[in-house]
Chain A
Amino acid sequence: MLQVTGIGAAALLTLSACGSSDSGSGASDADSSGASSGKKLSGTVNVFAAASLKESFTKLGKQFEKEHPGTKVTFNFGGSDSLAAGITGGAPADVFAAASPKTMKTVTDAGDADGKPSTFVRNQLEIATLPGNPNKVSSLKDLTKPGQKVVLCAKEVPCGAAAQTALSASKLKLTPVSYEQDVKSALTKVELKEADAAVVYKTDVHAAGDKVEGVEFPESKDAINDYPIAPLKKAPNAAAGKAFIELVKSSDGQKALTEAGFLKP
């Protein structure tokens, strides 16, 4: 129910945003309202999305192509920061899905988003340990025990910032062996058994299958990352882009995303 009103609100916001900036975007506005009322879509949809969305968005892309014959969804998965830099630099994208509000803000501040971004999923941290959890890690505090080789994401990237928030919320001091440059490299160090544990996203633990074991910890509730999505102003295929966002926020889309370990917004 909440989602439906969310979409409605987003659509209204989009409309009003277009209304206030009346030059140029009028045409795409008309297209988008046409799209939601079932007008035929065609062409390529360019989606720039955070790397953590790879599996679920690829699945949704296939579904979109099936629902709208004649369309093709192409993805550019990468770090949210570099994707945002690409968009503000003029990359031809229709949709941007970021792993943090901060990276989305880069795009909205540059005036490149068409309307207000909306949160479509959230991601929670989890501890990834070696298979079978040989060191019996059951809480964030267990990671602070001496002798444990723990890797964290660097504070500069979203997963690292979230880990710091969780640690300071629980007043724990954790000295890792390394601050990794992104969430995947932190996870890889555990997969290779070079580290005993890493603090990563639930979705990453899920994607790693049985190569790591996930341990949930209550402090992760204090550091949940919102994932915002927005249509873009200079979109070459605005109507199809908006339709793709509708699919992501639909119950089908949400199902695919929660299956990958994401939380509902």
Chain B
Amino acid sequence: MAANDTVEGGARRRRGRVPPLPLLVPALVGLAFLVVPLIALLVRAPWAQLPEQLTSPEVWQALQLSLVCATLATLVSLVLGVPLAWLLARTEFPGRGLVRALVTLPLVLPPVVGGVALLTALGRNGVVGQYLVSWFGITLPFTTTGVVIAEAFVAMPFLVISVEGTLRAADPRYEEAATTLGASRFTAFRRVTLPLIAPGIAAGAVLAWARALGEFGATITFAGNFPGRTQTMPLAVYLAMQSDPAAAISLSLVLLAVSITVLAGLRDRWMTAS
């Protein structure tokens, strides 16, 4: 009871205190800067034509492809990214700083550059890609797999960063205790570490998924643009903008709605993780 009172009293005091103006003004400008463009989309949306535009098969095709590819890219990121994050957080090896820098590079690289890099590596004529063609007959550009690869390339660093941060914050002594009790290092990771860092993994996965959903530059450069196969929503929005801005706004609204729904739905996990 007493404890409750103090907590509430503290909360009331915090609420009553006026924030200093030099912080409040830029904070509100910052908020407006991020929110006003999104509100503008709502203001300019061609609401009357919206149902017609959104029920067109092309839009559904692009949305479906976007959701499937972003989810697959997130799965790829989980399977490869969590072990990578573990390696960076829990092991010592020479050049680890460099490896971490390389892993985070796609975060700052313009996505188009990522697409060009993927094309020179995995393209039909690429450094690795030419062997994929001659040995296995696999070509990746212009395929849905290419979209997943492009999205994973751009999104995985978000997951790795997030999981590595959580791993560093998690106490390694639980793992050590498990290994001294006879568990192998992999068992300790699977049974102890993984449940411990689950919120961090979830947060990283959401971040990666959202990034993959919005991916444009690497996708259009590496996978091209073909409706139903490689045309994701951002590509559809970009091309619609060339000829029919109203349609582009409608498509943007769909993407906005999907993103908000997902972020809002996962908010609790998101909050506990951060």
Contact = CB atoms under 8 A, between A and B. Distances in A.
A194 B125 contact: yes
10 contacts: A156-B243, A177-B141, A177-B224, A178-B230, A179-B227, A179-B239, A181-B220, A181-B238, A192-B120, A195-B142
B240 interface: yes
Contacts of B240: 156
Given A177-B226, A178-B225, A189-B224, A194 B242 contact: no
Contacts of B124: 149, 193-194
A88 to B, nearest CB: 12
Which among B119, B124, B221, B225 has the greatest number of chain A C-beta atoms within 10 A?
B225
Contact of B242 (A154, A176, A192): A154
A194 B227 CA distance: 19
Which 4 residue pairs are nearest across A and B when measured between Cβ atoms? A178-B224, A177-B142, A193-B125, A156-B242
Interface in A198-219: none
Interface string A67-94: 0000000000001010000000000000
Summarize A's interface: helix, strand, loop or mixed.
Answer: loop
Interface residues of B, number: 23
B142 A179 contact: no
Which among A151, A157, A179 has the greatest number of chain B C-beta atoms within 10 A?
A179
Interface in A92-125: none
B114 interface: no
A194 B119 contact: yes
Interface string A157-193: 1000000000000000000111111000100010011
Interface in B230-252: 230-231, 235, 238-240, 242-244
A192 B122 CA distance: 12
Nearest to A151: B224
Interface size band for A: 10 to 19
A118 B134 CA distance: 52
B226 A194 contact: no
Contacts of A177: 141-142, 224, 226
Contacts of A178: 142, 223-226, 230
A177 B226 CA distance: 7
A192 B123 contact: yes
Contacts of A180: 224-225
Contacts of B123: 192-194
A83 B224 CA distance: 24
A176 B141 contact: no
A77 B123 CA distance: 30
Contact of B239 (A181, A185, A189): A181
A156 B142 contact: no
A253 B10 CA distance: 78
B223 to A, nearest CB: 8
Given A149-B142, A156-B242, A178-B225, 8 more contacts: A154-B242, A178-B224, A181-B225, A181-B242, A193-B125, A194-B119, A194-B123, A194-B141
A167 to B, nearest CB: 16
A178 B221 CA distance: 11
Contacts of A149: 124, 142
Interface in B89-136: 119-120, 123-125
B157 to A, nearest CB: 25
Nearest to B221: A185
Which among A151, A157, A178, A185 has the greatest number of chain B C-beta atoms within 10 A?
A178
Which among A176, A194, A195 has the greatest number of chain B C-beta atoms within 10 A?
A194
A156 B251 CA distance: 16
